Structure 1
Amino acid sequence: MKTIAIGVGDNENIIQACHIFKEKHPKTDIKLIYSDEDLVKAVLDDRVDAVIRGSLPASHIMQELKEYYPNLSRATYINGDDYEFLLSPVGIDEGTNVEERFEIAKNCIDFLKKVGKKPKIAILAEGREDDFGRGNEVSNSIKESEKLTKLIEENTSEEVENFFILIEKAINSKSNVIIAPNGRVGNIIFRTLVLLSSWPSYGAVTFGIDRVYIDTSRDQSIDGYVRSLILANQLSE
């Protein structure tokens, strides 16, 4: 029997989601975890096929996991209007420079290829191209977005386009990898699309680890946690 461990914090939508999932997947064992330490132990346990953070807080768990897997990063798997895409970085301390975001982009590309999809990458910045000069932060973000786009063009064979701040065009283009200018912006995009506008999300796929670990928001709905359980179940196969 397959085993999925999932963290239970203050949001008890997790419990209801597990009941719903179990009805359709009776051969998968669900192990409820109530502490950060036990969740980390579950990730390292060969008897556990997949782990979901659930509604436990992320910071301590990620800090602990990085002691074993120092190159961890995450990409939220969102189902938009008739298409799916990965959004990253989404951790507020992730993707802080071009090199980190390039590694994230490569991880997203590899993941999509493994699940049989052709990557199409969109790069974002904190301003339009002609906003250059409107403050150091905006100008630096624009320069970094151009550098990242060039790195991907020169080091992969995948389609990539710099949409600067125009996320609406990136989504309308059906790009299936969207790289935010940093983790704080990515986190805001996630919350706006998923938690505010109710775009379905499967949770965040975690890279840089040889285990199936799905990172989820503490504020997710019942349906959102069910989707994360479905994704963990599929990836563990």
Structure 2
Amino acid sequence: MITMYAIGLGEENKKEILKAYNKLKEEGIDVELIDNPKDLVDKLLSKELKGAVRGSLSSSKVIPYLREKIGKFYRASILKNPFTNNIFLLSPVGIDDISENKEERIKDKIKIIELSSKFLKSYNIVPKVALLSGGRLTDLGRNKIVDETIYEAEKILEYFKGKFNIIHKGILIEEYLKDDCNIIIGIDGISGNLIFRCLGLICKVPGYGAVILSDKNINFIDTSRNANWMRYYNAVKFLAGESFDLFKK
């Protein structure tokens, strides 16, 4: 028997996982709980599942195993823009999603932009890309690390010149969101993860979890172990075809 969807059930946050599971079952959605990281991935890749959500399983156990099976991928959190009520993608959000090497990191960000744009276009959303760096553009010369992030963003901006609607205003994430940018590219996975935690877990900005950005079609949503039940529920509903309709209710 094929189960349509599954949520990973780890040792942490079981109450929130069970709340999401029960709500989904009440709505007639075929979902199961899986407590083994490899089983979750293997069942998804063998087509025993139509979609899977990491739930509260450990990222350090699920993500490396998924990479072992499908190769390189990135993650992009789907969040609701608090200024416009539209969705936006935030990436990278995994601490090991992009390279530590400068040149490879730029290539990773270029790939993230291309895959994120493809994802949005599949939902008939026109991509509008924003590049984050470590300070205002007028801060050049104050800090060597900040300077490097600005130069890096400018290189990516130049690469996409004339190809995408893409802007770089430095650290001003609030201005990007007010301008309704729907792809926010963080400095690295650490800062991206921190932005997600501040918005999603502290400020309670609604979201669907993080989609897998890959050349392969993988119906997997990455979620935080510290999320509330709505984030797990939203992730399964997204996989089940709700698209972004939950944000409109």
Matched with 1:215 is 222
What's the CA shift string for 1:54-105, capped at 9, x where partnerless? Answer: 0101122111111122221110000122111000000011233111011011
CA contact (8 A) 1:121 1:176 kept: yes
CA-based RMSD: 1.6
**2:52 partner SS:** strand
Matched with 2:17 is 14
Match of 1:140 among 134, 138, 148: 148
CA contact (8 A) 1:2 1:29 kept: yes
Aligned pair in 2 of structure 1 residues 5, 63: CA closer, same or farther (>3 Å)?
A: same
Residue type of the alignment partner of 1:163: K
Matched with 1:63 is 64
Query: Is the aligned partner of 1:3 residue 2:4?
Result: yes
Residue type of the alignment partner of 2:41: V
What's the CA shift string for 1:126-157, capped at 9, x where partnerless? Answer: 11112222232111101001111122225x3x
Matched with 2:115 is 107
Residue type of the alignment partner of 1:175: C
Matched with 2:169 is 163
Residue type of the alignment partner of 1:93: D
CA contact (8 A) 2:120 2:127 kept: yes
What's the CA shift string for 1:191-213, capped at 9, x where partnerless? Answer: 00000001001000101132200
Q: Which moved more, 1:57-66 or 1:180-189?
A: 57-66
Match of 1:179 among 148, 160, 185: 185
Aligned pair in 2 of structure 1 residues 117, 2: CA closer, same or farther (>3 Å)?
A: farther
% identity of equivalent residues: 34
Superposed, 1:41-80 pairs within 5 Å as 41-80=42-81
Match of 2:131 among 112, 123, 136: 123
CA contact (8 A) 2:81 2:180 kept: no
CA distance in structure 2 between the aligned counterparts of 1:132 and 1:99, rounded to whole angstroms: 23
CA distance in structure 2 between the aligned counterparts of 1:72 and 1:235, rounded to whole angstroms: 24
Query: Is the aligned partner of 1:84 residue 2:90?
Result: no
Displacement, 1:235? 7.7
Unaligned runs of 5+ in 2: 100-104, 244-249
CA contact (8 A) 1:5 1:42 kept: no
CA distance in structure 2 between the aligned counterparts of 1:191 and 1:21, rounded to whole angstroms: 25
Displacement, 1:47? 2.2
Displacement, 1:2? 5.9
Residue type of the alignment partner of 1:11: N
Unaligned runs of 5+ in 1: none
Displacement, 1:221? 0.5
Structure 1 length normalisation: TM-score?
0.93
CA distance in structure 1 between the aligned counterparts of 2:7 and 2:174, rounded to whole angstroms: 34
